[in-house]
Amino acid sequence: MSAAGLCAVVVVVFFMAFYLLHRYGDLRKQHRLVLLGTLLSWYLCFLIVFILPLDVSMTIYNQCIHDNSNHTPSQTKGELSDSAPLQPSSVANVCVKPWSYIPHHVLPVFWRVVYWTSQFLTWLLLPFMQSYARSGAFSIVGKVKTALIENAIYYGTYLLIFIFLLIYVSVHLKLRLTRSELQTISITAANTWGLFLLVLLLGYGLVEIPRSYWFSSSNSFLLAKTYFKVAKLATEKASAEEDLADVMEEVAVLNESVRFNHSLRTCVDTILTKCPIRYQEEMGRNPQSSHCEGASFPTKSGLIKLHEKVISAVQRHNQTHVQWSLLLDKAFHLEDIAKSQGSPVRVVNRTFSPNHLSWVRRFIYTPTVEWYWECAFRKTFCRLLAVLLSLLSVAVVWSECTFFSAQPILSLFAVFVQKAEQHYNYILIEIVCFVSILFMCVCVYSTVFRIRVFNYYHLVPHHQTDAYSLLFSGMLFCRLTPPLCLNFLGLIHLDSAISHQDRMQTSYTSIMGSMRLLPVISDGFYIYYPMLVVLLCIATIYKLGSRFLNLLGFYQFITDNEFTSELVDEGKELIRRERRIRQRAEDGQNRRWAWRERYRVLATSERSRANYSELDENSPETEMRTSVSRSNGYIEEQHTGLLQDNSGDNSFPNRRSAAGQYLSFSPSLKSLFDDV
């Protein structure tokens, strides 16, 4: 059963990582190596989070066997005799094997493979792939060369810092650096850097996630925030379109200046393939000039820079347009909910019906169910969830400030784990560990998905994230997860380097080495630096970071800010304009659809009448109708001829009279034109 549970966790985590990659990345267009590197980094980090609770339960089980077989039982196991060691049979009765039992030789090998693979990705492979994907070179050799140069500069700085750290350790601590100690110092340096960033992201997520759920219970708040985003995105969308137009002008001039027989023409053609289709068609329609006066002749380096600009401009243009469409749909949906809240029929009336309804919306999430959820239950559910998440945040903050206290035990997570350990309730131990570490990971990882560093890093859903941002997120995950797990083990007092307790270590801690090698780190930085999470939480509560960004011109949504109110009003006007445009487009489409349906029905009836006439053409009634129709046709032809002879020309009134005579003999067509 344990092997089946472990395999199930491995498979479920893989599909979760693959779903996130499918949501943010483009599986069809992006490079396979980029997708593979991102998927592997996300998968390994999520796997560490899901397997660590199993490692904790196995460590507690092994500690129980160790205490009851080789030593007198501890005082916490009061039901045991303390006179002599227990026999193996008694140990088996006291130390119940956990349901998720894993053989002792499996987890150490598993952790070594997962940890060192993730570190290889984050420090070597992913940075190289980042530079490779962002390079505008036209050949593989050129991209590799660019990536090597950039990473040499990048890692040269880290190498200097690491050398200074080694000098400090060898001189001040008087240590003889062996292979194992050098490995421990390397791991400690990586975890120290990760912990520094971890506390910053954790302090923001511990406050922002519960607060976001509390405010999301109010539809008016969500609508105002959506208006604010619409106003900001409209400016960004216009800027992206202008940048793309400027870059396309440079490409057009380049296309005219470089002839087809030139050696750089293949590079120009490569750039043209990265341009949008409409610009390619415009450049293809314009004939290539034999010479371009005033146009400077391009160089290879200039083409590489232009290639990078084209890729960046096209990606940003596509991102803003997709975000604009999604944001409009969200604004229309929130406005429809606001109008339907007082509806007596208790149905959400959508202004714009989607083109395709999934089976969930047709049979399960119907308009009535949607009304009850959006207008009756969602507010209560979001607030209860916000309160629960707030309690977890308070527990994390309290434990971060008190986890170093071994006697008495003040960390709440350590208290819960030790209470469950006394009763050998391994399921409860795993639940407590999983919920707590998962909540901390959500606080950290959600911040990684939300933050944006200008136009260099931004995770955009609906397959709009570029390769650079995907790889950068994989690097962050691999660097944040190991210190996050070590910090969690310290919260539950399973890291002896922090809690200073003489007990067995987890298999995950065994690959890290003894942190006591560097007392400055284990007794100083790892103890006191996490306490800064309190200050970061206070700063997030009062939105000091958002107010500082507003001063710099990067406007954030703050309810008591005057500029925020102006952007909300501007966004509301933009939504009204887009609603009118979409309404006119939908009305025109409905009219065209109605016209096609009428034409199809009339054409079907005419064919049916013709088929009926062919079947009954030998009957007496048919012959009589045929003779009458021929007589009427002759009279109509004679009457039309007389009108033309009398008028002497084909004027509009005469043609209209003739058309009226024709419509009198074709009732179906006359009714059709009357409807139009």
Calculate the alpha carbon distances from 237 to 234, 315, 456 in Å: 5, 12, 16
* Separation of first and last alpha carbons in the chain: 72
Calculate the alpha carbon distances from 202 to 209, 436, 459, 474, 649 in Å: 10, 13, 19, 18, 87
Calculate the alpha carbon distances from 318 to 229, 241, 314, 504 in Å: 17, 10, 6, 54
- Which one, of 191, 53, 168, lies nearest residue 530 by Cα? 191
In a 3-state reduction of DSSP, which class is residue 457?
A: strand
- Residue 223, judged by CB atoms within 10 A of its CB (0-12, 13-18, 19+), counts as buried
Residue written as tokens 């309690």?
Answer: 391
Q: Which residues of the chain have pLDDT under 70?
A: 1-3, 70-94, 173-176, 285-296, 354-357, 359, 497-501, 513-517, 609-676
How high is the pLDDT of residue 79?
38
How high is the pLDDT of residue 674?
41
434 vs 424: CA distance, rounded Å: 17
- Which one, of 329, 257, 327, 347, lies nearest residue 295 by Cα? 257
Read out DSSP for 226-250?
HHHHHHHHHHHHHHHHHHHHHHHHH
- How are beta strands 457-458 and 452-453 bridged, if at all? antiparallel
652 vs 639: CA distance, rounded Å: 16
400 vs 530: CA distance, rounded Å: 6
11 vs 36: CA distance, rounded Å: 16
Sequence letter at residue 431: I
Calculate the alpha carbon distances from 73 to 5, 91, 184, 190, 237 in Å: 31, 10, 33, 39, 69
78 vs 100: CA distance, rounded Å: 26
Written in H, E and C, the secondary structure of 597-644 is HHHHHHHHHHHHHHHHHHHCCCCHHHHHHHHHHHHHHHHHHHHHHHHH
How high is the pLDDT of residue 72?
46
Q: C-alpha 415: how far from its chain's center?
A: 36
How high is the pLDDT of residue 668?
41
Other CB atoms within 10 Å distance of the CB of residue 558: 16
What is the phi-psi region of residue 288: left when phi exceeds 0, alpha when psi lies from -120 to 50, beta otherwise?
A: beta
Read out DSSP for 25-55?
S-TTTS-HHHHHHHHHHHHHHHHHHHHHHHH
How high is the pLDDT of residue 534?
94
Read out DSSP for 122-156?
IIIIHHHHHHHHH---SSHHHHHHHHHHHHHHHHH
Alpha-carbon torsion (589, 592, 598, 602), positive or negative: negative
Calculate the alpha carbon distances from 370 to 207, 259, 348, 356 in Å: 29, 61, 7, 17
185 vs 38: CA distance, rounded Å: 27
What is the phi-psi region of residue 88: left when phi exceeds 0, alpha when psi lies from -120 to 50, beta otherwise?
A: alpha
In a 3-state reduction of DSSP, which class is residue 357?
A: coil
468 vs 29: CA distance, rounded Å: 14
How high is the pLDDT of residue 598?
81
- Which one, of 227, 95, 64, 118, lies nearest residue 508 by Cα? 118
**For the chain, which residues make up each domain, given as ranges?**
223-362
